[in-house]
Amino acid sequence: MKTYTDLPSDAGSNIIGQVTAQANRLQQRLTSVKHTVAVMSGKGGVGKSSLTANLAAALTLKGNTVGVVDADINGPTLAKMMGVRTATLEYTPTGVKPAITALGTKLISMDLLLAEDDAPVLWNAHSQKDAFTWRATMEVGALREFIADTEWGNLDYLLLDLPPGTDRLPNVAELIPNLGGIVVVTIPSEVSQLIVKKSVTMARDILKVPIIGVVENMAFYICQHCGEEEPLFSADETPDTAFQQTLLGSIPFDPRLAHANDNGTPYIDKYPDTPASKALVQVAKKIQDFFGEKT
């Protein structure tokens, strides 16, 4: 397959110059970001976006300036979870101003660019069935624009909520060569841990990106009648030994968390004394500890 540099002509589009200029803008934006953190799972349905939204809230409540990139271009959810689904983006000569949540967290998401809730993300192509040929390239281009063209200002943390799949992290690592670290999300299910292991191997052994740690989501629930911890999945399923060594925390299941996400309300701010909120705050603290920040 030929690359852009192999083509005899770009028909006057100056595509190489455009990509280079955008890459330079991205690196310039990142100079004002202290720490970049990718949140990934490898498997869908483990609550990764919910965790990202609440970690961003926890870090913000600790006095940090936090930005979030919803890197799931085709299935964005963070604008709704973080209460800014109806926000209008402001375009300036120096970039796009991100949506700002009630707590002050900054967010950019494809969902903020879609007119209707049921509007899918469509890529320009002769026909949509042909768009798959360039879909990965266009998704990376959109992510590059999100980071490069957003007026983030000075950030303590920039969180990137990655879509499911082990193939997504290499794209982010290419865009952000000095990626600070990765938070891996799993659930107490052998099937989930089997897939998540592949993501860990990709990050640690192939891309050489630091693993901040693993978060076990929906680890258990609190019985409303007796107050005891009960397994949400099989009682025999515990975190893999490799995960236990880097476990940042186990988050209990709480129906109010899903309800808060649906309403765009920061769960840890509304229910600060629940076991789930306390566990989320501890995970945020351990992330700060990883970077040597005072908490």
Please report whether residue 174 resides in a domain: yes
Please report whether residue 3 resides in a domain: no
Please report whether residue 5 resides in a domain: no
Please report whether residue 218 resides in a domain: yes
- What is the rounded CA–CA span in Å between residue 42 and residue 164? 5
> Strands 99-100 and 33-40, how do they pair?
unpaired
What share of the chain in percent tops pLDDT 90?
44
Angle at 31 between CA 27 and CA 32, to 5 degrees: 130
Please report whether residue 194 resides in a domain: yes
Q: What confidence tens digit (pLDDT) does each residue in 17-73 have?
A: 666 776 778 888 889 999 999 999 877 888 999 999 999 999 999 999 999 999 988
Q: Note down the domain range covering 169.
A: 15-24+31-290
| pLDDT confidence band for 294 (50 / 70 / 90) | low
- Which class for 221: exposed (0-12), middle (13-18), buried (19 or more C-beta within 10 A)? middle
Please report whether residue 6 resides in a domain: no
pLDDT the model gives residue 132: 58
- For 185, the enclosing helix (H) or strand (E) is strand 181-186
Domain count for the chain: 1
- What is the rounded CA–CA span in Å between residue 266 and residue 103? 8
Q: Which two tokens stand for residue 57?
A: 């809230």
CATH code of the domain covering residue 221: 3.40.50.300
Nearest Cα residue to 293 out of 59, 32, 28: 59
10 Å Cβ neighbour count for 36? Answer: 21
Please report whether residue 279 resides in a domain: yes
Q: What is the mean pLDDT of residues 206-235?
A: 82
Q: What is the mean pLDDT of residues 87-113?
A: 92
| pLDDT confidence band for 237 (50 / 70 / 90) | low
Q: Strand, helix or coil at 74?
A: coil
Please report whether residue 274 resides in a domain: yes
